[in-house]
A = this chain, B = another copy of it.
Amino acid sequence: MSQQEPAGGLSRRGLLGLVGAGVVGAGVASAVTYAAATAGTAASSGAAATYPFHGEHQSGIVTPAQDRLHFAAFDVSDLTKAELEELLRDWSYAASRMMAGLGAGEFGAVGGAYDAPPDDTGEALDLPPAGLTITFGFGPSLFDDRFGLGAKRPAALIDLPHFPGDALVESLTGGDLCVQACSDDPQVAVHAIRNLSRIAFGRASLRWSQLGFGRTSSTTRAQVTPRNLFGFKDGTANLRAEDTALVDQHVWSGGRDWMTGGSYLVARKIRMTIETWDRTSLREQETVFGRTKGDGAPLSGGSEFTAPDFTATGRGGTPLIADTSHVRLAHPSMNDGATLLRRGYNFVDGNDELGRLNAGLFFIAFQADPRTQFVPVQLALARNDAMNEYVRHVGSGIFAVPPGAARNSFVGAGLFD
């Protein structure tokens, strides 16, 4: 197919982005891809798990939370609306291939085109997809006057307010576009972000990004509750994919517009003061959470999945679950029923000059409307949560996550109707 643009493939501009000076067509000599190499073998193992790119919703939201994350926010360069659409088409095409376990794109004849860069960077060439999902979102800034999309900005895609205690670092906030790549293999997630970044060369560039290594939430009942870097079970009361009525109500965007079937993603990079935490007593740690550290049971009694009893009191009428505990302040019953589908990850980015681990939680939550979900819950936490002494919010982003792409279409097509 050499000089021809493949049907549904990358745009010409996408190809130019790939190959720099305009030489079109390149393929890794042997054109080995995992999918090709294993064609005909059973793909039933967890590592070979694949999720659909096309569909009513994007994958990577209620999908069973994979173990590893590479999240990236991008800024769009000086493009026209048509060029932005082209970028989104190219990304969708490459994402659909990578989620299927293929390389980012193949154009050159097998064995030929040595004088052009390879279509795929290669580091995931013999790796199974390991449940890769690639989920795209649009930040508020995409709806400014550059692309004439202002009228399409959803009311729910607010600019997040300043929360008490916020210590945001400008270079870890915002972004016109975001990509959440999750996989059980970090090399597969990194490969996805790297190739999308490569395909966007000259059209969009990385603004900030984050690797996460331990999921801190379960999104299905089959998954055990993991632990955050405070050492506590995290996400015991998370929304689960099986609760379809709750998911319909709290995760998927209502209304009848281009966001129907979409959701809203809020990301917060939350640094933990690990060393201070590690020198506090077990009593203090459990009081802060409102749960036991070992089992994750509420301090009002029972086991992990027992509902917390916020009215239970101990000696002298003191609440067993403190008024400033995280579990109380975050609980739906304290927030007019507001709840979130959390999909966070632990991170460690080396250490600072004082020898403290630069570590914490990369919080990601999906919801139908941040105005009635993330914002009021985070306001309550920011004001009163005893945990605030041990955390600092340094990064932040909000993104409208469109519905899944129809077959032969792309994510965000509704923006260009």
Contact call A281/B227, Cβ cutoff below 8 A: no
Shortest beta-carbon distance from A60 to chain B in Å? 19
A232 to B120 CA separation, bound complex (whole angstroms)? 12
Cβ of A116 within 8 Å of any chain B Cβ, yes or no, is: yes
**Which of A124, A171, A194, A292 has the largest number of chain B CB atoms within 10 A?**
A194
Please tell me which stretch of A81-89, A133-141, A197-205 contacts chain B, meaning at least 4 of its Cβ atoms lie within 8 angstroms of it: A197-205
Cβ of A126 within 8 Å of any chain B Cβ, yes or no, is: yes
Contact call B231/A123, Cβ cutoff below 8 A: yes
A143 contacts across to B, CB distance below 8 A: none
Partner of A213, one of B187, B205, B206: B187
Number of interface residues of A (CB under 8 A): 75
A28 to B281 CA separation, bound complex (whole angstroms)? 10
Cβ of A353 within 8 Å of any chain B Cβ, yes or no, is: yes
A72 contacts across to B, CB distance below 8 A: 351
A121 to B279 CA separation, bound complex (whole angstroms)? 10
Contact with B along A314-327 (1 / 0, CB 8 A): 00000000000000
Chain A contact residues, majority secondary structure: loop
Partner of A214, one of B186, B279, B359: B186
A230 contacts across to B, CB distance below 8 A: 122-123
A186's nearest neighbour on chain B, judged by CB, is B213
- A350-B32 contact, Cβ under 8 Å, with A116-B281, A231-B118, A279-B20: no
Contact call B211/A348, Cβ cutoff below 8 A: yes
Contact call B282/A29, Cβ cutoff below 8 A: yes
A122's nearest neighbour on chain B, judged by CB, is B231
A349's nearest neighbour on chain B, judged by CB, is B349
Cβ of A56 within 8 Å of any chain B Cβ, yes or no, is: no
Contact call A187/B346, Cβ cutoff below 8 A: yes
Shortest beta-carbon distance from A124 to chain B in Å? 8
| Residues 328-351 of A at the B interface (beta carbon under 8 Å) | 346, 348-351
A228 contacts across to B, CB distance below 8 A: 123
A285 contacts across to B, CB distance below 8 A: 117-118
A19 contacts across to B, CB distance below 8 A: 279
Contact call A209/B125, Cβ cutoff below 8 A: no
Contact with B along A25-47 (1 / 0, CB 8 A): 01111111000000000000000
Contact call B123/A350, Cβ cutoff below 8 A: no
Cβ of A357 within 8 Å of any chain B Cβ, yes or no, is: yes
A65 contacts across to B, CB distance below 8 A: none
Cβ of A371 within 8 Å of any chain B Cβ, yes or no, is: no
Cβ of A283 within 8 Å of any chain B Cβ, yes or no, is: yes
**10 A-B pairs with C-beta separation under 8 A:** A30-B294, A114-B286, A117-B279, A121-B231, A122-B227, A123-B227, A187-B213, A187-B346, A194-B357, A213-B213
Q: Which residues of A are interface residues toward B (Cβ below 8 A)?
A: 19-20, 26-32, 68, 70, 72, 75, 113-118, 120-126, 171, 186-187, 190, 194, 197-198, 201, 205-211, 213-214, 224, 227-232, 274-275, 278-283, 285-286, 292-295, 346, 348-351, 353-357, 359
